């Protein structure tokens, strides 16, 4: 079956990232592996992934291998300084489910926006009474190198289309 709109797609892949800095590209290094024990499933056309990622998979068939690179601009773009925010440390108390070690610099805080959607912020600096948080995507500024295999393509159910995500063994459970 071919990857197109209204299809559920299952992939295994290795994601490597690299960065161009001062016209010197870093060697790609592995940041994620999704294997047969933990494949990645998404609803094609509604994945929330970079548009170019889906564009490069469109028309491929179950069983095909893929290999491509998304430039930083095709992926998550450049860092946005407006997404670096200072908040009072008191907002991250034990009563709200945060432990002191969660507030270490470099950690990612699991958060929710005002609509209840999951998000994360990286702690750039803990100033004691304030935290400097970066809400940019963790892969902002990186070129993304994907090497993988399409392990499943199937029609999405009506319920999956209505909800905008995969259900069942490889998706959300209702």
- CATH of the domain spanning 81-134: 2.40.10.330
Q: What is the pTM for the complete model shown?
A: 0.81
Q: Give tens-digit pLDDT for 106-156.
A: 999 999 888 888 889 999 999 999 999 999 999 999 999 999 999 999 999
Confidence at residue 174, expressed as pLDDT on a 0 to 100 scale: 44
Return residue ranges of the chain for CATH 3.10.50.40: 7-77+139-170
Q: Give tens-digit pLDDT for 121-135.
A: 999 999 999 999 999
Beta strands 29-34 and 7-18: pairing type?
antiparallel
Return residue ranges of the chain for CATH 2.40.10.330: 81-134
- CATH of the domain spanning 7-77+139-170: 3.10.50.40
pLDDT < 70 positions in the chain? 22-25, 170-174
CA distance 128 to 92: 12
Confidence at residue 164, expressed as pLDDT on a 0 to 100 scale: 84
């Amino acid at each position: 079956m071919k990857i197109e709109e209204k299809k559920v797609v299952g992939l295994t892949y290795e994601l490597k990232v690299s960065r161009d800095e001062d016209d010197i590209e870093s060697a790609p290094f592995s940041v994620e592996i999704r294997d047969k024990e933990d494949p990645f499933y998404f609803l094609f056309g509604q994945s929330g992934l970079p548009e170019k990622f889906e564009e490069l998979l469109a028309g491929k068939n179950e069983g095909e291998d893929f290999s491509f690179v998304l430039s930083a601009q095709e992926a998550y773009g450049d860092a946005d300084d407006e997404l670096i925010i200072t908040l009072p440390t008191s907002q991250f108390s034990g009563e709200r489910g945060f432990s002191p070690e969660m507030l270490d610099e470099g950690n990612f805080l699991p958060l929710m926006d005002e609509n209840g959607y999951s998000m994360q912020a990286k702690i750039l600096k803990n100033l004691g009474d304030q935290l400097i948080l970066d809400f940019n995507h963790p892969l902002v500024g990186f070129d993304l190198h994907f090497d993988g295999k399409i392990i499943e393509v199937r029609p999405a159910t009506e319920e999956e289309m209505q909800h905008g995500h995969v259900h069942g063994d490889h998706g959300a459970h209702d």
